[in-house]
Structure 1
Amino acid sequence: MEQDEFRAAMSLLLEMITDLRRRNHARGRSISRHLKRIRERREQRALETEMLLGRLQQVRLLIQRFFREGVRRRLWAQPELLRNDPFESQWELNVPHYSEERFVKKFRMSRQTFGALVDLVRPHIRKEDTKLRMSIPVEKRVAVALYALKSNCDFWTIADWFRIGKSTVPYILYEFCNVVNSVLLPMYVKFPNTPREKELLANEFYSRWQFPNCFGSLDGTHIPIIEPSLNAMVYFNYKQYHSVVVLALVDASYKFTYVNVGKPGRVNDAAIFNSSQLKTELRGAGDYLIVADGAFPLMANLMKPYLITNGMPLLHGNYNRRLSRARVVVEDAFGRLKGRWRILMKRADMDLENVKLIISTCIVLHNMCECAREPYFDSWQDIVNNFHVQ
Structure 2
Amino acid sequence: MKREHYSHINLLNELKFAPKDWHNYLRMNEETYLKLLSMVTPLIKKQDTVMRKAVSPHERLTATLRFLATERSYEDLKFTTIISPQALGVIIPDTCEAIYKVLRKDYFKFPQTEDERKNIAKHFENRWNFPHCLGAIDGKHIDIIPPSGSGSYFYNYKGRHSMVLLVTVDARYQIIMCSFGVNGMISD
User: Shorter chain as normaliser: what TM range?
Assistant: 0.7 to 0.9
Separation in 2, partners of 1:92, 1:222? 28
CA gap 1:249/1:155 in 2 versus in 1, 3 angstroms: closer
> TM-score, length-normalised on structure 2?
0.73
Q: Paired residue for 2:13?
A: 96
Aligned residue for 1:94, secondary structure, equals: helix
Q: Check if 1:170 corresponds to 2:89.
A: yes
Separation in 2, partners of 1:235, 1:82? 35
Equivalent in 159, 170, 179 of residue 251 of structure 1: 170
After TM superposition, the structure 1 = structure 2 runs for residues 1-390 of structure 1, keeping only pairs within 5 Å, are 81=1, 86=4, 88-98=5-15, 99-217=18-136, 219=137, 221=139, 223=141, 230=150, 232=152, 245-264=164-183
Q: Determine if contact 2:47/2:54 at 8 Å carries over to the other structure.
A: yes
Q: Determine if contact 2:12/2:22 at 8 Å carries over to the other structure.
A: yes
Deviation at 1:149, TM superposition (A): 2.1
CA gap 1:268/1:203 in 2 versus in 1, 3 angstroms: same
Runs (5+) with no aligned partner, structure 2: none
Aligned residue for 2:134, secondary structure, equals: strand
CA gap 1:176/1:92 in 2 versus in 1, 3 angstroms: closer
Deviation at 1:235, TM superposition (A): 6.4
Separation in 2, partners of 1:175, 1:256? 22
Aligned residue for 1:134, secondary structure, equals: coil
CA gap 1:205/1:230 in 2 versus in 1, 3 angstroms: same
Separation in 2, partners of 1:118, 1:215? 32
Separation in 2, partners of 1:202, 1:187? 22
Letter in 2 for 1:95: L
Q: Determine if contact 2:73/2:143 at 8 Å carries over to the other structure.
A: no
Letter in 1 for 2:22: F
Which of the pair is proportionally richer in helix?
1
CA gap 1:133/1:233 in 2 versus in 1, 3 angstroms: closer
CA gap 1:136/1:256 in 2 versus in 1, 3 angstroms: same
Aligned residue for 1:221, secondary structure, equals: strand
Q: Determine if contact 2:121/2:133 at 8 Å carries over to the other structure.
A: yes
Separation in 1, partners of 2:32, 2:183? 34
CA gap 1:93/1:183 in 2 versus in 1, 3 angstroms: closer
* Per-residue deviation, residues 182-212 of structure 1 (Å, max 9, x unmatched): 3324543332112443344233222211234
CA gap 1:133/1:180 in 2 versus in 1, 3 angstroms: same
> TM-score, length-normalised on structure 1?
0.39
Aligned residue for 1:253, secondary structure, equals: coil
Deviation at 1:230, TM superposition (A): 4.6
Deviation at 1:233, TM superposition (A): 7.5
Q: Determine if contact 2:71/2:143 at 8 Å carries over to the other structure.
A: no
Aligned residue for 2:135, secondary structure, equals: strand
Separation in 2, partners of 1:234, 1:162? 26
CA gap 1:131/1:232 in 2 versus in 1, 3 angstroms: closer
* Per-residue deviation, residues 292-319 of structure 1 (Å, max 9, x unmatched): xxxxxxxxxxxxxxxxxxxxxxxxxxxx
C-alpha RMSD of the superposition: 3.6
Separation in 2, partners of 1:226, 1:126? 24
Aligned residue for 2:112, secondary structure, equals: coil
CA gap 1:208/1:268 in 2 versus in 1, 3 angstroms: same
Letter in 2 for 1:169: L
Deviation at 1:97, TM superposition (A): 1.9
Which of the pair is proportionally richer in strand?
2
Separation in 2, partners of 1:173, 1:227? 12
Separation in 1, partners of 2:13, 2:159? 44
